[in-house]
Amino acid sequence: MQSLQGLAWLLAMQSLGELLSRGGALPFPGPVIGMLLLLLALQWSWVREPVAACARFLLSHLSLLFVPVGVGVMTHLGLLGQYGIRMLAVIVLSTWIGLIVTVLVLKALKKTDHA
Amino acid sequence: MPKFVELWVYLSATPLFGLTMTLVVYVLAQALYARLNQAAWANPVLWSVVCLASLLTLTGVDYPTYFSGAQFIHFLLGPAVVALAWPLWERRAALRLHWRALLAAAVVGGVAASGSALLLGWVFGLPQAVVLSLAPKSVTAPVAMGIADKIGGIPALAAVFAVVTGMVGALSGKVLFDFLKIPTDAHGWMARGFSMGTAAHGIGAARALQVNADAGAFAGLALGLQVVLASLLIPLIFRLF
């Protein structure tokens, strides 16, 4: 029951986020606004406990949720045949750059944090 | 035999087929991943996608038919983004303590991931719509689709790029961090996890969570921050040019 309540909170916040995003022409997608609203609401324990139960379940199976859209690769086989190697090279290189830059920035700032 | 063919034609066209196949294949891939001690190359998302795409091609079921069932799983990506408020809340003490360093790393790392993708895409001569779809590739798929739509990319392609990015991060993160001699103490796990969430979103975070609980929590934090920063910054930067 608790995780069901939690799911209701998540969906309600997402809906509110969609309303604010479309209605207020805000630069964030609906779920992002929903996340920020929920973050504010989490200070109340009667919101927090059900949300925690549902969020733990949902986030521990997060990788499953990417499968349907991943299978969508097959609908772009034309583009992939033509540019596949180059697209993959761009993705691999830029992901490495992102990983390396982030980790090195944190490593460098950690030192000044302690100084 | 004709009866079997009729049944198959019926079943493969119902939403039940896409939903069931996705769950069955993923559960098997996850079991194999556990059996192989969670080796990075055995990533369950990667192998589920490969198996399902091959299966659909072999059986002649088209993607829209498959997706009519798989959309029920896909739909949960929205609530999952909202649910990211939980890891953010959980680590609020660490966030308050290190917010300057973490925010700086999220901004600089996010700009590096997105900017290098745009630059490399342009250098490699990819079509403009493809290059624009590459911009939000380090953000979780549902948000990446929204951003791509706003800046003139192809949402479906942006989602695929985001998934591939996550897999690249999950496959190569540990090797890169070991090579850079990032330690495996408290700060090291924070840096490793945060970097995975920044550059490789949910798939990277899922991988980080399996390696170390702290790394996973900071990856979730980074993923939440990246969702906010990228939705704000990427369309803003494109509006300026």
Q: Give the percent of chain B with pLDDT over 70.
A: 99
As to burial, measured by CB atoms within 10 angstroms (0-12 exposed, 13-18 middle, 19+ buried), residue B224 is buried
Asked whether residue A115 carries a pLDDT value surpassing 50, the answer given is no
Q: For residue range B45-74, list pLDDT tens digits in order.
A: 889 999 999 999 998 888 999 999 999 999
Report, as an integer, the average pLDDT of A21-33: 82
Measured in angstroms, the CA of A4 and the nearest CA of chain B are apart by: 13
Is A67–B52 a contact, with Cβ atoms under 8 angstroms apart?
A: yes
> What residues in B contact A28, CB-CB < 8 Å?
228, 231-232
pLDDT of residue B241: 66
Check residue B9 and give its pLDDT.
Answer: 75
Q: What is the DSSP code string of B104-138?
A: HHHHHHHHHHHHHHHHHHHHTT--HHHHHHHTTTT
Partner A, chain B 46-105, Cβ-Cβ below 8 Å: 48-49, 52-53, 56-57, 63, 66-67, 70-71, 73-74, 76-89, 98, 100-102, 104-105
Other Cβ atoms within 10 Å of B84 Cβ, number: 31
A74 touching B, CB under 8 A? yes
pTM of the predicted model as reported, rounded to 2 decimal places: 0.83
pLDDT at A17: 92
Question: What are the start-end ranges of the E strands in chain A?
Answer: none
The string of pLDDT tens digits covering residues B155-207 is 888 988 998 999 999 999 999 999 999 888 888 899 999 999 999 988 898 88
To the nearest whole angstrom, how far is the Cα of A65 from the nearest Cα of chain B?
6
Q: What average pLDDT does range B193-222 have in this prediction?
A: 88
Determine the distance in angstroms separating the CA of B186 from the nearest CA of chain A, rounded to an integer.
11
Query: Which of B166, B138, B155, B165 lies closest to B230 in space, CA to CA?
Result: B138
Whether A41 has a pLDDT exceeding 90, the answer reads yes
Instruction: Write the residue in B134, B168, B206 that is nearest to A63 by C-beta.
Output: B206
pLDDT of residue B165: 93
Task: Give pLDDT, residue B72.
Answer: 94
Residue A80 has pLDDT above 80, yes or no: no
Of B146, B163, B198, Cβ closest to residue A69: B163
Whether B98 has a pLDDT exceeding 90, the answer reads no
As a whole number of angstroms, the distance between CA B165 and CA B167 comes to: 5
Tell whether the model's pLDDT for residue A69 goes beyond 80: yes
Whether ipTM > 0.85 holds is: yes
- Tell me if chain B has a CB within 8 Å of the CB of A100: yes
Q: Does B187 touch chain A (CB under 8 A)?
A: yes
Among candidate residues B68, B85, B126, the one with its CA nearest the CA of residue A12: B85
Measured distance CA(B235)–CA(B148) in Å, rounded: 9
Are residues B160 and A51, on separate chains, in Cβ contact within 8 Å?
Answer: no
